[in-house]
Amino acid sequence: MLKINKNNKMITKILFCAAEAAPLAKVGGLADVVGSLPEALKAQGLDARILMPAHGSISLKSWKAKKINSFLIKIDKKQERVNIWYIKVKGTSYYLLQNKNYFSGHVYEGDSISKYLFFARAALKALSLLPFKPQVIHAHDFHAASIITELSTQARTGRPGLVLTIHNLQHQGWTEEKALLKFDFCKTDFQVRDKNISNKKTSTWINLLAAGIKSADKITTVSPTYAKEILTPAYGYGLEKLLSSRRKDLVGILNGIDVKTYNPAGDINLAQKYASKDVVAGKQNNKQAVRAYLKLKEDNSPLFVFIARFSNQKGLDLFKAEDLLNLQKKFPFQLVILGSGEEKYEQMILAVNKQLPDNMRTIIAFDETLAHNLYASANYFLVPSKFEPCGLTQMMAMRYGAVPIVRATGGLKDTVIHEKTGLVFKQYTSQAFNRVLKQALLVYYQQPALYKKMRSDGLRQDWSWQASAPEYQRLYQEI
Ligand code: GLC
């Protein structure tokens, strides 16, 4: 049942504004959330649609997109043509903004600041042309935050409600004032008076995320623990004071995952599909196929898997060749790392791999098919993040019967219970990481009943949006 908000108006029409959404364009977890939450909101009686750039990497033709409108905006005395395309994917409506100068590359290719200030400017114009009139604009991360900042200057009665979700506080969108002016934003709307923020860069710099945080009606982040952590200097990335000042309007809502896509019983990517009841044989067969594919030897050792964007967030610096070699001597294991990103981390992990040539494989790539096969093959799934707003891979791993090993931070802390559904370590040090790896190996070799119990308890968890979608629905009504 829908609740009526305080103005006696039912809030049903929501427009998500974001940089990426799966399956159209995916770089990280943001895309999974933006691409799957609208469907879950539909089950709550809401009509949530998505507005995003028509990145050059999206084939409008093969998605059978329809051009529904076109307009010009003036940037730096130059007219820019923007076409609005419409697509319906798995029941969700998308409006895609196409422009050849700003959106011809992939999601974060090129200058992200100009790209997303342009996106905000084009989105603001598109709002008046869309056949859909949203009651709430739900912006995600700094890429869409400027839409909120500008709309917030209008009287509340004449504008939609404004929700900003922070998926990752590390990316804030710092820019110079002159860039704002170029895209016709008024710099005073973006000024945030907070010593922490202005200390970081001189006052000629603007923080797009901070401006959005200041002006949104409600702010959400993607897990209850991260919502608390970001109020502290250790996790707030300089925005902790601003966030604390908005504490009353800040809420942490745990992400769900698309349990239809991440389902070993129906996953067409897998060498062999399997249901919970035949998890042992299913995983064994997939592990065999992955080992053959990656030229790893067939034995009874456990397979550890790590899949992530390579950045300072993900704990790649915790992998130490010497520690892994020492563990390997007593308790053989195999390790597969899949991901790509910052060159520094790619080099770091390849150097570790060099010392474990027989038992470790590193695949520098973004490869969804391989990722699914790895979830299905893994005995343990590693998420040793320094910080993790939510983290989706630990939930995906549990769906496939891979036992997660995570650090106690953000959404990892909220989703994995130590020695119940996985193993959890606290300190961000390679010693603590090494200790938990050792415990995992001891459990695997010497306490098989505990290993089995963790796996089956993990498999039983419900990671669908069923719990969280109603929380968003409640939040929209509160604005
Ligand atoms: C970002 C965060 C990740 C979160 C995802 C979706 O990628 O780093 O923790 O799960 O967004 O909200």
Residue 410 Cα to ligand 1 midpoint, Å, equals 10
- What distance in Å separates the CA atoms of residue 52 and residue 19, rounded to the nearest whole number? 6
Residue 78 Cα to ligand 1 midpoint, Å, equals 36
Q: In Å, how far are 320, 350, 432, 450, 467 from 354, measured between CA atoms? A: 12, 6, 23, 33, 44
- Residue 347's CB is within 10 A of a number of other CB atoms, namely 11
Q: Per-residue pLDDT for the chain (479 aa), expressed as one digit of tens each?
A: 444 555 567 899 999 999 999 999 999 999 999 999 999 999 999 999 999 999 999 999 999 999 999 999 999 999 999 999 999 999 999 999 999 999 999 999 999 999 999 999 999 999 999 999 999 999 999 999 999 999 999 999 999 999 999 999 999 999 988 999 999 999 999 988 776 676 666 667 899 999 999 999 999 999 999 999 999 999 999 999 999 999 999 999 999 999 999 999 999 999 999 999 999 999 999 999 999 999 999 999 999 999 999 999 999 999 999 999 999 999 999 999 999 999 999 999 999 999 999 999 999 999 999 999 999 999 999 999 999 999 999 999 999 999 999 999 999 999 999 999 999 999 999 999 999 999 999 999 999 999 999 999 999 999 999 999 999 999 999 99
CATH T-level assignment (fold) for domain 13-256+466-478: Rossmann fold (3.40.50)
- What distance in Å separates the CA atoms of residue 179 and residue 174, rounded to the nearest whole number? 10
Token digits of residue 304? 């550890």
By most ligand atoms within 8 Å of CB, the mutation choice from 26, 27, 30 for ligand 1 is: 30
Best CA proximity match to 212, nearest among 204, 220, 200:
220
Q: Which residues, at least 6 apart from 344, have a Cβ–Cβ distance to it below 8 Å?
A: none
By most ligand atoms within 8 Å of CB, the mutation choice from 222, 223, 237, 385 for ligand 1 is: 222
Q: Distance from CA of residue 354 to its chain's centroid?
A: 30
Residue 402 DSSP symbol: P
Best CA proximity match to 231, nearest among 221, 223, 220, 242:
242
142 and 173 in contact (C-beta within 8 Å)?
Answer: yes
Same-fold call for 13-256+466-478 versus 276-460: yes
Token digits of residue 466? 């069923």
197 and 239 in contact (C-beta within 8 Å)?
Answer: yes
Residue 20 Cα to ligand 1 midpoint, Å, equals 12
- What distance in Å separates the CA atoms of residue 286 and residue 295, rounded to the nearest whole number? 14
Token digits of residue 303? 């397979």
C-alpha angle 155-5-246 in degrees, rounded to nearest 5:
60
Domain residue ranges in the chain: 13-256+466-478, 276-460
Return the residue matching tokens 């996106």.
119
Q: Which atom of ligand 1 is nearest to the CA of 165?
A: 12
Nearest CA to ligand 1 atom 7: 29
- What distance in Å separates the CA atoms of residue 96 and residue 62, rounded to the nearest whole number? 14
pLDDT the model gives residue 8: 62
Return the residue matching tokens 């007219």.
79
Token digits of residue 157? 């009665």
- Residue 400's CB is within 10 A of a number of other CB atoms, namely 27
pLDDT the model gives residue 1: 44
- Residue 350's CB is within 10 A of a number of other CB atoms, namely 12
Helices within 339-446 (DSSP H only): 343-355, 368-377, 393-399, 410-415, 430-446
135 and 14 in contact (C-beta within 8 Å)?
Answer: yes
CATH T-level assignment (fold) for domain 276-460: Rossmann fold (3.40.50)
Q: Which atom of ligand 1 is nearest to the CA of 313?
A: 8
Read out DSSP for 313-329?
TS-GGG--HHHHHHHHH
Q: Which residues line ligand 1 (CB under 6 A)?
A: 28-30, 33, 167-168, 222, 255, 388-392
Strand, helix or coil at 227?
A: helix
Best CA proximity match to 305, nearest among 339, 344, 279:
339
Token digits of residue 311? 């950045």
Residue 307 Cα to ligand 1 midpoint, Å, equals 13
By most ligand atoms within 8 Å of CB, the mutation choice from 27, 171, 255, 414 for ligand 1 is: 255
136 and 17 in contact (C-beta within 8 Å)?
Answer: no
Read out DSSP for 155-210?
-GGGS-EEEEEES-TT---EEEHHHHHHTT--HHHH----HHHHHHS-TTEEEHHH
β-strand partners of 88: 93
- What distance in Å separates the CA atoms of residue 76 and residue 134, rounded to the nearest whole number? 30
- What distance in Å separates the CA atoms of residue 102 and residue 93, rounded to the nearest whole number? 23
What do you get for the CA distance between the two ends of the chain, in Å? Answer: 18
Token digits of residue 201? 């860069």
